[in-house]
Amino acid sequence: MSKKIQTEKAAAAIGPYSQGICSGNLLFTSGQIPVNPTSGEIPAGIEAQTEQALENLKAIAEEAGTTLVRTVKTTCFLTDMAHFARFNEIYAHYFSERPARSCIAVKALPRDVLVEVEAIIELQ
Active site residues: 103
Q: What is the rounded CA–CA span in Å between residue 79 and residue 65?
A: 31
Q: What is the rounded CA–CA span in Å between residue 122 and residue 27?
A: 6
Q: DSSP for 106-119?
A: -S--GGG-SEEEEE
